Amino acid sequence: MTFHVDSETGRLRRVILHRPGLELKRLTPTNKDELLFDDVLWVRRAQQEHDIFAGLLRYRGVAVHLFGDLLAESLAVPAARALVLDRVFDEREYGPLATDRLRAAFDELPAPELAEALIGGITKREFLERHPEPTSVRFHVMEPDGFLLHPLPNHLFTRDTSAWVYDGVAINAMRWPARQRESVHFEAVYGYHPLFAGERAGRFHLWSEGQGAHPSTIEGGDVLVIGNGAVLVGMSERTTPQAVELLARRLFAAGSARTIVALDMPKRRAFMHLDTVLTMVDGETFTQYAGLGMLRSYTIEPGSGAQELKVTDHPPEHMHRAIAAALGLGAIRVLTPTQDVHSAEREQWDDGCNVLAVEPGVVVAYDRTVTANTHLRRQGFEVLEIPGGELGRGRGGPRCMSCPVERDPVS
């Protein structure tokens, strides 16, 4: 079995999704901002909507792997379990008196229960229902309903923490603390799950290995594999220029890509990731939010030496030209619905640009983005709608919620 993602719009073969669970039930009006959500979701309805999304992909012939299952199956491997527990239970977080006791208690859990606790979180009260209180100042001063392990509701957006780029995967260093623990879960899955590490699994590159203690961060919503050996990256509030350079150097050294176009995006939450304002719908066509405008861009190519990079700076008006050149095209087609500025802003907030292509010219979108969907249909695209009344309140659309691990090139 060979894993590779050779485009944004070629036929989608295999994908990782995460079905919402306990972690979203932990969201409250008090903690939602810290956990990077703008609202509290109705979890049962969000699960129903997600099931429809997964069912639609399966109906279209896509193999769907649920992340909760992958993590639980990985944690059955002792080395994977040790990796995660060693990383999570650190004395700098829990103090020297409690760390070993807590780690040992979680190590006793069966793999499915451990996976649920790691993703869904666990409070002091819940821990004490099954274990005696450790002798620990840190533990003692906690409120009964304080989180020993904070929930990870952003695991819903599997695109960000791991991004497949041609014949390898980047396990990303995440920008905000609320998401940083996600990375070690993907390290365990890609390193030890039989799907990726078994005898039938093909070899793949690791473009980055996970969370580091340095300021170089990158998230998959900013990374578009546009094909023809080219990658489009948004330098947003969550993806830094130095991370783009590191990714470029590794891709070029392996011969897996030949050019990166980096866009200098506004550093604002409304423009959280590149795929919230620009996505690809076929081999030469993009859908773009009108309020994005034109951005300064940088074409990055291999330099004269093994560790060198050649960078070409383009003024904002050349943004589309730079993308077209990376694709080997004379021009790209950019679709933006004609609507007033307020309607456009609402549709962008509702993820009107955040569509997932299942094959060239066929995309999955939320049903709530009526204007964007209608515009795409009028331009000859097939739009497969899924309900987004609750999922859409999480500020991520079908592309955000999916991590392709196998996708064909565009012929």
Which residues are the active-site residues? Answer: 400
DSSP label at residue 166? B
Ordered DSSP codes for 6-27: --SSSPEEEEEE----HHHHT-
Structural contact between residues 7 and 227, judged by C-beta atoms closer than 8 angstroms: yes
Question: What 3-state DSSP class applies to 70?
Answer: helix
Distance, in Å, from the CA atom of 8 to the CA atom of 223, rounded to the nearest integer, reads 10
DSSP H or E segment with residue 384: strand 382-386
Instruction: State the number of CA atoms in the 13 A half-sphere of 344 facing the CB.
Output: 15
Question: Which ranges constitute the DSSP H helices of 207-257?
Answer: 241-254
Structural contact between residues 105 and 131, judged by C-beta atoms closer than 8 angstroms: yes
Distance, in Å, from the CA atom of 373 to the CA atom of 371, rounded to the nearest integer, reads 5
Distances (CA, A) of 155 to 119, 207, 303, 311, 402: 8, 20, 37, 34, 10
Helices 111-120/78-88 angle, 10° precision: 30
Instruction: Write the burial class of residue 194 (CB in 10 Å: 0-12 exposed, 13-18 middle, 19+ buried).
Output: middle
Question: What 3-state DSSP class applies to 316?
Answer: helix
